[in-house]
Structure 1
Amino acid sequence: MVDRLKKLPSELKKILTIASRQATSSGVKIYLVGGVVRDLIKGKINFDLDIVVESDAIIFAREYANYLGGEFKKHHAFGTATVYLGEHKVDFATARRETYPRWGALPVVVPAALEDDLARRDFTINAMAVSLNKGDYGRCLDLYNGLSDLSKGLIRVLHKDSFLEDPTRILRAIRFEQRFSFKIEKNTFKLMREALGREALKFIHPHRLRNELVLILKEPKPRIYIGRIEKLINFSILDKTPPSKVLGGSIPVDKSIKLDREDFKLFLRIEKTVSFYQEKFKKLKEIEEWFVYLAAILVKLSEPEILQFVESFGLRKEHRVKMLSIKKNLSKIKRLNRELRPHAIYHFFQLLSFEAIVFFYAYYPEKKIRENIEYFLDKLVNVTLFVKGEDLKKLGMKPVNLYSKLLRRLLYVKLDDKLKTKQEEIRQAKVIFRKLKSREDRMMVPVVKTIDK
């Protein structure tokens, strides 16, 4: 492993070398652990480093951050800390033993030796460590034959209760199986099915399930992962959310999701659409690809069901708004299947997220809908006015409360008629203002009722 460590990029070698020197001067033992060791053996570079400290990791990490001038964040409950060094981050954890008070619960943690720390890992391929200590720097510690399983392409748990203690490992096993083109070892697969038969996933907090699902949807070609999940567990991970506070917990919601062939065709279209968007519209905002796939999974639910899901799974407010927007506008998009003036296209899309627009492009294969979406992204999305509110003030236009409506109408004219200069916009603004002012004046004229005697 020494040779592999030497082949790391210089900035990573520096990060590890300084940590090793600090360990020597502090008289503690530290080890590189987890996925980074697995990837090193596979010849891949992993820029997220995990280091186990056989001492107080928080104290060690604080000194390390101070020395390198990095940002330091601590997590007392688990005896861990993270140091951010530019584009890199290093996670430090106190070597620990974990016990689970019940299925799916967060573990109770106590400091322990490295051997105990490796024993708590999810799979053998992630239970290897590399010494960063003077005297045996680069030595690989493989207590569970992870090297052998890595060479054979096997996903294997460390003990029979692994999936019951932490059922998120079921999803993680699928993720690693598909990412590396590995196989889930025969007995491990048997234990997984047994855990599913005992409905282990329902004991996991929805937020933890969300995290695992998002990681899966962030993988390249997530439809392959989704297909594997559907085959094994029929997306039952989405059936266990508690009653929604939004709904008062009183409305029964059936969120059983069954994916069919059309859904997987949609996933494939999303892949192609995301690639098309990234290639053709490079200057536009980057999208959260995982969210587009999640929308494809949830869109067949009703609005109350989506509300319950997004709340129970703890999606951020911005994601909740985006998801409901997709559902509310799904049928309205059909109106775009015809010739429309530019301002009408802009009016429809201006308040939608780019994720929603990409989703609709994939969802509707109709040529005219897609042409209108492309026209918006290519020609309309970045159109702005030269004229601002301050310009209207200087022109003596009153009252100010008309400005918002005036500027919106002016933008629509620009979108349709291609106003080229600020002077052209000012001339058009005066025309629009006279019409708006005239209408407002008419509305303010009191209506006098006469009484016939």
Structure 2
Amino acid sequence: MRATRRSEILRQRLSPQRIELIELAGRLAAGRGAACCLVGGCVRDLLLGRPVRELDLVVEGDATALGGELAARLGGTARSPTRFGTAKLELPQRETIDLASARREIYPSPAALPVVEPAGIDEDLLRRDFTINALAIHVEPACFGKLRDPCGGVRDLHLGLIRVLHDRSFIDDPTRALRAVRFAHRLGFRLEQGTSRWMSEASRQGVLDLLSGSRLRRELSLLLLEMPLRRTAELLAGSGLLSAIFPDAAASEEALARLGRLDALLDRTRPLAEGGEPRRLALFVSMLLAENRATDVQRLADRLDLRGGDRELAIGAVAEARGLALRLAPLLDSASGIYFALERSSAEEALAAAALSPEVEGAVVAHLNRLSRVRPALGGDDLIRMGIPPGPAHGRILREILAARLDGIVKTPEEEAGMARRLAGDLEG
């Protein structure tokens, strides 16, 4: 594919604002005598015809200086958040760009963070995880649209392969094993034969054990954001990574069934997202190890450096969920009974209860999607205006009205007011 054709593709698939941005970056870099390229995932997705989420640029030389100049020209801000010579540009219209200095990386030991040195564009591409991400397109005026592909990434895009660049790739950075699974799922690709073999060898050598809990947790969280929980367990088990990361776990039929039910529940309770995404990693750990001893779950929580609410959920969800299921079982025909049984439980605990006990699934879905949002029309001020003095009676009256609302006994503010007066009279009597 010629540079002119790739230039046309850029203009077809990127917005005019993005084209203006990368052209300006190319002109400013050329003025400094430096090469500047779109790189990595955005090039991969452009060539595949997929949506481009964010633009990633690499420049030979000082990325922070170029980032500052770009931000000044475009009315944005530039931050330099890492020690690797990068700048993150936040521009108008919610556009975010990562700009990095071209570099080579040297890994002093397995799983260690690399030592970096300035380098050219091709060397920068040679440090990347997979051939399909080792692609660059020039944005300088003299060579706008020119492709750099030193590792055969375009070939692997056509073949649908995830291929690492060398046989020590997973030893240098074991997180690439989880990224390989993630990209294979996202793109519908498969692992190249040598890549699959090197991943298994690295896993058997225990290199994943060398990762810090935070790095491992981050990659697992990213994986679970893109994949159903059951499919994640299946792919990790099939690649040998599950036993390396979760030595006390097994992808048994029972565990996979629990995770599959949880996937279905998450799909059916999309309104939950209004309050933030559920804590998928903690749920994954708790459901995968639901039949294990508590000490096994605690050991894994320690390994992943889970903290705060995530740690509590991972370790305590199963016991809490089983208790919830027992409390719910006799109340399945009562909307108010379901509401009050679940009102003090987190959404994740309720979901875990349904995943463990399918008979309460309908109650949990009804609570998360509908019942938890029901509120009386009347409030404390309304009761005062009705002549009901403040005090403990208010709470009891409003709770009774809420139960009646949930069960469909009262439907209008007028019916609520009538019920409030009757309840107040009963309490006085």
- Shared fold (TM-score, shorter chain, > 0.5): yes
Write the deviation string for residues 283-327 of structure 1: whole angstroms up to 9, x where unpaired.
965644844545432434444544454454244634345445632
In structure 2, the partner of 1:272 is 264
Give the whole-Å Cα distance in 2 for the aligned partners of 1:400 and 1:73: 54
Q: CA deviation at 1:34?
A: 0.9
In structure 1, the partner of 2:340 is 347
Alignment partner of 1:336 is 2:333: no
TM-score after normalising by structure 1: 0.80
Give the whole-Å Cα distance in 1 for the aligned partners of 2:48 and 2:411: 57
Give the whole-Å Cα distance in 1 for the aligned partners of 2:38 and 2:10: 11
Give the whole-Å Cα distance in 1 for the aligned partners of 2:285 and 2:18: 34
Alignment partner of 1:382 is 2:385: no
Q: Assess, with a 3 A threshold, how the Cα gap between structure 1 residues 70 and 359 changes in structure 2: closer, same or farther.
A: farther
Q: CA deviation at 1:352?
A: 3.2
Q: What is the Cα-based RMSD across aligned positions, in Å?
A: 3.2
Give the whole-Å Cα distance in 2 for the aligned partners of 1:224 and 1:416: 38
Give the whole-Å Cα distance in 1 for the aligned partners of 2:28 and 2:395: 61
Write the deviation string for residues 168-216 of structure 1: whole angstroms up to 9, x where unpaired.
1122222233333433333333322221221010001111111211222
Give the whole-Å Cα distance in 2 for the aligned partners of 1:307 and 1:105: 26
Q: CA deviation at 1:393?
A: 5.3
Where do 1:24-423 residues align within 5 Å? 24-85=30-91, 86-221=93-228, 223-233=230-240, 235-239=242-246, 256-278=248-270, 285=275, 287-288=277-278, 290-291=280-281, 292-310=283-301, 312-315=303-306, 317-324=308-315, 326-332=317-323, 333-338=325-330, 339-366=332-359, 369-392=360-383, 400=391, 404=395, 407-416=398-407, 418-422=409-413
Q: Assess, with a 3 A threshold, how the Cα gap between structure 1 residues 234 and 126 changes in structure 2: closer, same or farther.
A: closer
Give the whole-Å Cα distance in 1 for the aligned partners of 2:52 and 2:425: 63
Write the deviation string for residues 75-101 of structure 1: whole angstroms up to 9, x where unpaired.
141221222344442111111222223
CA contact (8 A) 1:322 1:353 kept: no
List alignment gaps of at least 5 residues for structure 1: 240-254, 439-453
Where do 1:418-429 residues align within 5 Å? 418-422=409-413, 424-426=415-417, 428-429=419-420
Give the whole-Å Cα distance in 1 for the aligned partners of 2:96 and 2:409: 49
List alignment gaps of at least 5 residues for structure 2: 1-5
Write the deviation string for residues 204-245 of structure 1: whole angstroms up to 9, x where unpaired.
111111121122222244533431211232623444xxxxxx
In structure 2, the partner of 1:242 is none
Partner amino acid for 1:412? A
CA contact (8 A) 2:286 2:314 kept: yes
Q: Assess, with a 3 A threshold, how the Cα gap between structure 1 residues 208 and 14 changes in structure 2: closer, same or farther.
A: same
Give the whole-Å Cα distance in 2 for the aligned partners of 1:271 and 1:131: 42
TM-score after normalising by structure 2: 0.84
Give the whole-Å Cα distance in 1 for the aligned partners of 2:46 and 2:234: 29
Write the deviation string for residues 310-366 of structure 1: whole angstroms up to 9, x where unpaired.
454244634345445632322121443344432220012223333444444444332
In structure 1, the partner of 2:14 is 9
CA contact (8 A) 1:104 1:167 kept: yes
In structure 2, the partner of 1:449 is none
Q: CA deviation at 1:384?
A: 1.0
Radius of gyration: which is bigger?
1
Q: Assess, with a 3 A threshold, how the Cα gap between structure 1 residues 211 and 284 changes in structure 2: closer, same or farther.
A: closer
Give the whole-Å Cα distance in 1 for the aligned partners of 2:173 and 2:363: 47
Percentage of pairs with the same residue: 32
Write the deviation string for residues 119-162 of structure 1: whole angstroms up to 9, x where unpaired.
21111221111111121111111112222232223322222321
Q: CA deviation at 1:268?
A: 3.2
Give the whole-Å Cα distance in 2 for the aligned partners of 1:437 and 1:63: 74
Q: CA deviation at 1:428?
A: 4.3
Give the whole-Å Cα distance in 2 for the aligned partners of 1:188 and 1:283: 37
Partner amino acid for 1:375? A
CA contact (8 A) 2:272 2:278 kept: no
More helix by share: 2
> SS of 2:376's equivalent?
coil
In structure 2, the partner of 1:244 is none
CA contact (8 A) 1:287 1:355 kept: no
Q: Assess, with a 3 A threshold, how the Cα gap between structure 1 residues 155 and 420 changes in structure 2: closer, same or farther.
A: closer
CA contact (8 A) 1:217 1:294 kept: no
CA contact (8 A) 1:125 1:155 kept: yes
Give the whole-Å Cα distance in 1 for the aligned partners of 2:241 and 2:368: 36
CA contact (8 A) 2:272 2:369 kept: no
> SS of 1:72's equivalent?
strand
Q: CA deviation at 1:262?
A: 2.3
Give the whole-Å Cα distance in 1 for the aligned partners of 2:273 and 2:238: 39
Give the whole-Å Cα distance in 2 for the aligned partners of 1:286 and 1:410: 29
Moved more, 201-210 or 267-276: 267-276
Q: Assess, with a 3 A threshold, how the Cα gap between structure 1 residues 122 and 400 changes in structure 2: closer, same or farther.
A: same
Write the deviation string for residues 30-76 of structure 1: whole angstroms up to 9, x where unpaired.
11111111222222222222111212212222332233233533214
> SS of 1:89's equivalent?
strand
Give the whole-Å Cα distance in 1 for the aligned partners of 2:76 and 2:336: 49
